Amino acid sequence: MEKINLKALWIEELESFLDKLGEKKYKAKQLAKWIYNKGVTDFEQMTDLSKELRRKLSEVAYIGKLKLTRKQVSKIDQTEKFLFELSDGKRIETVLMREKNRVTVCISTQVGCALNCIFCATGKSGFERNLSAGEIVDQIIAVKGYLKEDEKVTNVVIMGMGEPLLNYENTVKAIRIIQSELGLSISAKRITLSTSGIAPEIYKLADERLKIKLALSLNAPDDELRRKLMPIAKKYPLSEVLEALKYYAKKNDIRITFEYVLIKDVNDSEEQALKLAKLIRGIPCKINLIPYNPIKECPYKKPDEETLIKFRDILYPRAPAVTLRRSKGEDIQAACGQLKAGM
């Protein structure tokens, strides 16, 4: 009989698994805490479980873990990028960022991406498959093993490879594990999910009441330009996406983050800044302006500093909050839009 990977299971599934072994369901919480909270992969280390249960578990199950293939460290800001190999040989990238009192892990939800946004390296690599909930969570567990002695993960951003809402069930399951005291104990207000705007799934996510922060990869102030930059915009126009975001903000009492990658001579004009301010009017939000991070597959360039500042200053105070965000790890291709799993 093929052994079961327990890292893909959560409480109800672990209860069912233990029930089939003839064990009490309450032990599922103990098992979950060892797997996710403590990151243990050896049943013999689970000392509050009986020897007999540990023996049974070792015969029918295992606890999978990611294989580190390569780790790179930025010489500029000490950002770390991890290339992990999955059990089937597929590869994903995960990023660790440090800033003041924050230690943030940027995680992936898919191997590659099907959306093919024209400024993003991940999309250029194509789509291979969704990650399981266990593989999503395991990125954080794996990275925790490389933290300094006095560090702990404070924030999680679901902004790595892939579109999280196209892997909806596994992403939501992973978020529940990340939030749980039996899991990684990271509060909802410290988890941010970034989407390209899959409107129906935004409504579904709102109704989950997970209370996590939601960011939209916007990148254009109108549908015409957005469709050129992001093919998914042909399916979900801005009017539809913005209505979904308003619903999310109201349902979860959270302000939306709009991410806007500034590309030289594409979406960085004064006129576009004014259109952007008008577009987001009435939505509780903040805007993160992200200077484009070059990739060799694309001809685009980053705007000069004067243009960046001018764009920001036009937006604020027309928009309630605007940040010009400097990307981390650009020298190791770990910045926004640069992940492609060594492909």
Catalytic residue among 15, 23, 80, 93: 93
- Give phi and psi for 215, each to the nearest 5: -120, 140
- Between 133-144 and 168-179, two packed helices, what is the crossing angle to 10 degrees? 40
What's the pLDDT score for residue 341?
A: 56
Q: Is 99 annotated in the active site?
A: no
Domains of the chain are 4-62 (1.10.150.530), 67-332 (3.20.20.70)
Decide if 336 is catalytic: yes
Q: 338 or 16: which carries more pLDDT confidence?
A: 16
Buried b (16+ CB within 10 A) or exposed e, 86-118: beeeebbbbbbbbeeeebbbbbbbbbbbebebb
Q: What is the pLDDT of residues 76-92, one digit of tens each?
A: 888 999 999 999 999 99
Strand, coil or helix: 11:
helix
Residues 6+ apart with CB under 8 A from 275: 221, 222
State the pLDDT confidence band at 334, using cuts at 50, 70 and 90: low
Strands in 196-277 per DSSP E: 213-217, 256-262
| Mean pLDDT value across the chain | 94
Mean pLDDT of 204-221: 97
Q: Considering the candidates 106, 113, 120, 336, report the single residue annotated as catalytic.
A: 336
DSSP tag of 189: G
Residue 343 has what pLDDT? 44
Alpha-carbon distance 305 to 301, whole Å? Answer: 12
Quick one: tokens of 22?
């003839």
Over residues 255-271, the pLDDT tens digits come to 999 999 999 999 999 99
Please, what's the largest Cα pairwise distance for the chain? 70
Phi, psi of 309 (to 5 degrees): -65, -45
Mean pLDDT over residues 41-59, rounded?
96
- Please provide residue 5's backbone torsions phi and psi, each rounded to the nearest 5 degrees: -85, 110
Q: Which amino acid, residue 218?
A: L
Cα distance from N-terminal residue to C-terminal residue, the chain: 35
Kindly report the pTM of this predicted structure: 0.95
Q: Give me 227's structure tokens.
A: 């469709």
Give alpha helix (H) positions in 125-222. Answer: 133-144, 168-179, 199-208
